[in-house]
């Protein structure tokens, strides 16, 4: 049990540190959000017209018939569209967000450790490859699928998946197979 706890704690910290570096010092995700000099005007219009939430525009009305939805889709084809996450106020308090992220990272590594300990004869290579597989599965089923539907880039998330789960796989492969 002690070995599992140490594996989880160190692995969770490795994930957390990589994520911090990825979004800050290394700035892998820097191109995901672009500046516009019109931001003040846009925010003003949004604040006058939206409640807090996520939006995809244009969208047919929720109560529209299938015929109305089809007519809407036909009229919107080839025209501009946008996805918006709108919040009423900016919050720079990161303490709780960072705590929650660390807890999620620990839980993810705990689940991976549990999975690895189901192997009859765990070896470094299988721990590393399984960890990478977990990362790539996570990448393919969420960030990559979003790039298909929302026409965005997910290269930063692919780098994250390979780097962070590779680091965790190296750690777990060494620690869990150590006699």
Span 21-68, pLDDT tens digits: 999 999 999 888 889 999 999 999 999 999 999 999 999 999 999 999
Both tokens assigned to 134: 């977990």
43 found inside a domain: no
Q: What is the pLDDT of residue 36?
A: 94
Q: What is the pLDDT of residue 75?
A: 94
Q: How many domains does the chain have?
A: 1
Q: Would the pLDDT of 179 be above 80?
A: no
pTM of the predicted model, to two decimals? 0.85
Q: What is the pLDDT of residue 30?
A: 87
74 found inside a domain: no
Cα separation, 157 vs 88, in Å, equals 28
142 found inside a domain: yes
22 found inside a domain: yes
Q: What is the pLDDT of residue 163?
A: 97
Q: Would the pLDDT of 121 be above 90?
A: yes
Q: What is the pLDDT of residue 141?
A: 96
65 found inside a domain: no
Look up the domain containing 144 and give its range.
2-32+93-177
60 found inside a domain: no
Runs of H (alpha helix) within the chain: 2-23, 39-49, 66-76, 95-116, 124-139, 145-150, 155-177
């Amino acid at each position: 049990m002690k070995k599992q706890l140490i594996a989880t704690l160190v692995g969770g910290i490795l994930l957390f540190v990589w994520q911090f570096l990825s979004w800050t010092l290394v700035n892998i995700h820097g191109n995901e959000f672009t500046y516009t000099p019109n931001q003040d005007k846009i925010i003003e219009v949004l604040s006058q017209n939206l409640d807090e939430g996520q939006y995809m525009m244009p969208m047919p009305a929720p109560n529209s018939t299938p015929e109305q939805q089809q007519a809407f889709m036909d009229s919107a084809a080839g025209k501009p569209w946008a996805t918006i996450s709108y919040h009423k106020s900016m919050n720079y308090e990161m303490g709780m967000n960072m705590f929650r992220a660390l807890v999620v990272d620990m839980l993810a590594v705990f689940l991976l450790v549990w999975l690895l300990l189901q192997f009859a004869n765990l070896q470094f290579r299988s721990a590393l490859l399984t960890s990478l597989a977990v990362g790539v599965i996570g990448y393919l089923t969420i960030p990559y699928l979003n790039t298909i539907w929302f026409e965005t880039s997910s290269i930063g998330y692919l780098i994250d998946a390979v780097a962070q789960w590779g680091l965790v796989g190296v750690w777990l492969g060494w620690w869990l197979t150590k006699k």
